[in-house]
Amino acid sequence: MSLAHDARVAVHPAAGAQRPARARPELNNPAAWVVAAILLIMPLIANGFFLIEIFATTMILGIMALSLMFLAGYGGMVSLMQLTIAGFSAYMVAVFGVSGNANISLGWPWWLAVPMALALATAFGTLGGALAVRTEGIYTIMITLAIGAAFYYFTNQNWAIFNGHTGINTVATPHFWGVNWRADIPFYYVVLAVAALCYFAVEYLSRAPFGLALQGVRDNPRRMAALGFNVNAHRVAAYAFASFIAALAGVLQVWNYRQISPGSVSVGACIDVLIIAVVGGITRPIGPFIGALIFVLLRTFALDFLVRLGLDGNRFRLLIGLGFLAIVFWSSDGVIGLWQRWRQRQRRDDSRSRGGHRHG
């Protein structure tokens, strides 16, 4: 289990590949514009099922995995508690806001409950981070996994706030300006806006002093201290930022399902986020979203596919697991790593054939 190590190793080739267009790679890339346009007009193409069950769910999971990508890809810290932070945020929306469990929920309007949930979840993640930064590599994974597991069992057993294993149901979603923001199309745009915001924030931050310093901490923490940086403070700040992103995803998640229960914060779900980030690639912010799309497509359609082959549909995780194995075996920087290498090879072939023509 050398994920932390892989994370560090994986960063280098991809960072090199992105170097030529380092300022704003996505602006020079026509494919990025096409994807953006398709995402914007998606409600014209897709029905409610695809809009929410596939794309909104993908983006919500993508945001959670993005928070892990930020920590692991830029900071070299593999945190398995990102889903737990999102789940905590989701619980807090349900507890402070309006839900079917009137004896638990405080009934605050969403515009008070959401900032409260974000603040508490960010504080929760920052505290967890402050514990985790005292460790390195596999111990960071262990301590964050322990936090995730502890939270799962706590929600199962605590009835006063978390309502035990049944969780909190019929959580209210925002209605204002005459719009039901949980209706398929408005909710799709809300999720898209938050996902875009998080994506560009991480992308922007990677070249700001804070993000650069974080990459310095990843590459050589001892030298960073010898340059005047307080390495642990930087790591904790990275956890705070990543926690805020995960907390945003948690708010969207509880609005999406309108309920939150321990099943959503299980240890398996924590590991799913890691799988999503690694399959997509943790070297660039787009990776987690690609990983989430693959995960959601498999989760949704592998069942039918397996049943058609005469297998048990619940074995879709087997497909995900095999895919994960294949990815980490052949491409330590995920699907985007495969894509980048394929593009580089094409470019090399191109220049070689052009060179041949000149000489010929």
* Two tokens, residue 268: 């398996």
Among 213, 269, 292, 320, indicate the residue that binds other proteins (CB under 8 A). 213
DSSP 180: E
Among 226, 329, 352, 359, indicate the residue that binds other proteins (CB under 8 A). 226
Q: Which of 80, 77, 72, 60 is nearest to 247 (CA)?
A: 60
Q: Which of 251, 342, 232, 286 is nearest to 66 (CA)?
A: 286
Name all contacts of 273-277 with Cβ < 8 Å and 24+ positions apart.
Answer: 273/61, 273/64, 273/65, 273/68, 273/80, 273/82, 273/83, 274/3, 274/68, 274/78, 274/80, 275/320, 275/324, 276/61, 276/62, 276/64, 276/65, 277/65, 277/66, 277/68, 277/69, 277/72, 277/334
Element (H, E) at 85: helix 82-96
Per-residue contact string for residues 237-256; x = within reach of other proteins by CB under 8 A: x-------------------
> Is residue 305 within the footprint of other proteins (CB under 8 A)?
no
Q: What is the rounded distance in angstroms from the CA atom of residue 23 to the CA atom of residue 310?
A: 50
Stretch of residues binding other proteins (CB under 8 A), selected from 45-53, 152-160, 206-214, 338-346? 206-214
> Is residue 16 within the footprint of other proteins (CB under 8 A)?
yes
Among 3, 7, 11, 275, indicate the residue that binds other proteins (CB under 8 A). 11
Element (H, E) at 175: strand 175-176
> Is residue 216 within the footprint of other proteins (CB under 8 A)?
yes
Element (H, E) at 342: helix 334-359
- Give least dist CB 204 to other proteins, A: 7
> Is residue 27 within the footprint of other proteins (CB under 8 A)?
no
> Is residue 136 within the footprint of other proteins (CB under 8 A)?
no
Question: For residues 181 and 229, which CB has a smaller minimum distance to other proteins in the complex?
Answer: 229
Among 41, 44, 102, 222, indicate the residue that binds other proteins (CB under 8 A). 222
Stretch of residues binding other proteins (CB under 8 A), selected from 35-43, 216-224, 243-251, 320-328? 216-224
Question: For residues 240 and 303, which CB has a smaller minimum distance to other proteins in the complex?
Answer: 240
Q: Look at phi and psi of residue 137 and say left if phi exceeds 0, alpha if psi is from -120 to 50, else beta.
A: left
Q: What is the rounded distance in angstroms from the CA atom of residue 211 to the CA atom of residue 310?
A: 49
> Is residue 228 within the footprint of other proteins (CB under 8 A)?
yes
Among 50, 189, 229, 339, indicate the residue that binds other proteins (CB under 8 A). 229
> Is residue 225 within the footprint of other proteins (CB under 8 A)?
yes
Window 56 to 85, contacts with other proteins (CB under 8 A): none
> Is residue 230 within the footprint of other proteins (CB under 8 A)?
yes
Site residues (vs other proteins, CB under 8 A): 11-12, 15-16, 19, 204-205, 207-210, 212-213, 215-216, 218-220, 222-231, 234, 237
